[in-house]
């Protein structure tokens, strides 16, 4: 059952592409607004759940990263993928002086910072792809369409077994520089978030997630992930991890989006009536439905609803 059918079931409203209140396009907007409202309520009321609506993206240059919602955390590697340092906010006016060692605003790899400018987030010192990658965890708001039945149903889970992990070592310094993951026709693409499991040799990698750096159809790297101290590891299983993007939302909270859209749909229907020209019993029925939906929606967040079921003719004509 898609979201339109779910809303119609809750409200008794007919929703078509044209000529109804609401229309399908309006319902899609209500659903999208509902996703924002649900996320924002969780951030305020139950901040511990905010991570469920977040994504973590890697930043390894000075180009910055576009963010649409609140930033939950930013960390930067301190010349070591295992040494993560929290980035703290910098006033954008200090973005130049924060890079100058003689400045009071200077930020080092052991005390990194970040600033937001023109919709992007920038990390100081500038991240690089080797041992100095920054990870930005932030909120994204999905766009929800009326004919969808699940947000993120298009997510493809790609699993490859028997992956060979080869450790590349700098012969002059004997330092581990990178690890290459080899699997014919692996199917992973740049930016995929993946999880490593079932690695019988480099067991320290099991359970670790990383972001794919595409090399070719038969090999790839994972930003900041190295096979240490084992030089060669076979039999690893690499699986795509669903991550939040513009079409993803936790399944357990989708019903709240439907409730929100149902509320807005009934409100739009009531607003379209001129009470003195319409059947008061019909209007009262929609008013009762609206009150019930609001109670259900708000109580899900532990909010006491003010809405009351029922209403006199005088109240309905106000």
Contacts of 48 (CB under 8 A, 6+ apart): none
Are the CB atoms for 254 and 142 separated by under 8 Å?
no
Angle at 193 between CA 239 and CA 34, to 5 degrees: 115
HSE (side-chain half, CA atoms, 13 Å) at 278: 17
How far apart CA 18 and CA 36 sit, in angstroms, is 25
Q: How confident is the model at residue 317 (pLDDT cuts 50, 70, 90)?
A: very low
Q: What values do phi and psi take at 148, rounded to 5?
A: -85, 155
- In this structure, which CATH number among 2.40.30.180, 1.10.3210.10, 3.40.50.300, 3.40.50.10880 belongs to the domain 159-240? 2.40.30.180
Omega of the bond prior to 125 within 30 degrees of 0, cis?
A: yes
Beta strands in 125-273 (DSSP E): 134-139, 159-170, 175-182, 193-197, 209-216, 219-222, 232-240
Specify which of 108-117, 129-138, 208-217, 229-238 reaches the highest per-range mean pLDDT: 108-117
Q: Which residue has the higher pLDDT, 193 or 76?
A: 76
Structure tokens at 99: 């890079």
**Helices 254-271 and 24-45, axial angle in degrees (round to 10):** 130
Tokens of 204: 């320290």
| Residue 222 vs residue 265, higher pLDDT | 265
Q: Where are the domains of the chain?
A: 3-47+249-316, 61-132, 159-240
Tokens 């006016």: give the residue. 93
Q: What is the pTM of this model?
A: 0.66
The string of pLDDT tens digits covering residues 83-108 is 999 999 999 999 999 999 999 999 99
Decide: 134 and 209 in contact? Cβ < 8 Å: no
Asked if the bond preceding 22 is cis, omega within 30° of 0, the reply is yes
Q: Looking at 31-40, 80-89, 120-129, 151-160, which range is the least confident one?
A: 151-160
Mean pLDDT value of segment 124-153: 87
Cα–Cα dist 28/147, whole Å: 8
Query: Which DSSP symbol is given to 125?
Result: S
Minimal CA–CA distance to 235: which of 173, 301, 160, 311? 160
Q: In the β-sheet with 84-86, what is the strand arrangement from edge to edge?
A: 54-59, 134-139, 71-77, 84-86
- In this predicted structure, the answer to whether residue 172 has a pLDDT above a threshold of 80 is no
CB atoms within 10 A of CB 318: 7
């Amino acid at each position: 059952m898609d979201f339109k059918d779910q809303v119609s079931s809750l409200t008794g409203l007919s929703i078509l592409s044209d000529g109804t209140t609401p229309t399908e396009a309006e319902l899609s907007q209500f659903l999208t607004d509902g996703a924002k409202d649900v996320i924002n309520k969780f951030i305020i009321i139950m901040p511990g759940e905010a991570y469920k609506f977040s994504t973590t993206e890697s930043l390894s240059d000075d180009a910055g990263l576009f963010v649409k919602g609140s930033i939950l955390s930013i960390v930067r590697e301190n010349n070591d993928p295992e040494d993560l340092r929290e980035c703290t906010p910098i006033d954008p006016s200090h973005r130049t002086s924060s890079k100058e060692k003689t400045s009071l605003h200077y930020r080092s790899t052991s005390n990194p910072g970040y600033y937001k400018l023109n919709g992007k987030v920038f990390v100081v010192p500038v991240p690089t792809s080797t041992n100095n990658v920054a990870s930005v965890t932030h909120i994204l708001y999905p766009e929800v369409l009326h004919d969808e039945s699940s947000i993120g149903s298009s997510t493809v889970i790609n699993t490859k077994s028997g992956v060979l992990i080869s450790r590349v070592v700098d012969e002059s310094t004997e330092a581990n520089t990178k690890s290459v993951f080899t699997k014919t026709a692996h199917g992973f693409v740049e930016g995929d978030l993946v999880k490593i499991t079932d690695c019988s040799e480099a067991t320290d990698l099991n359970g670790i997630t990383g972001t794919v750096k595409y090399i070719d159809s038969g090999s790839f790297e994972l930003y900041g992930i190295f096979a240490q101290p084992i030089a060669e590891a076979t039999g690893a299983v690499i699986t795509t991890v669903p991550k939040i993007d513009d079409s993803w939302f936790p399944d357990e909270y989708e019903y709240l989006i439907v409730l929100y859209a149902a509320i807005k749909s009934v409100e739009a229907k009531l607003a379209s009536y001129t009470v003195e020209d319409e059947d008061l019993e019909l209007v009262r029925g929609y008013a009762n439905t609206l009150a019930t939906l609001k109670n259900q929606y708000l109580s899900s967040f532990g909010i006491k609803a003010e809405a009351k079921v029922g209403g006199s003719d005088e109240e309905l004509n106000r």
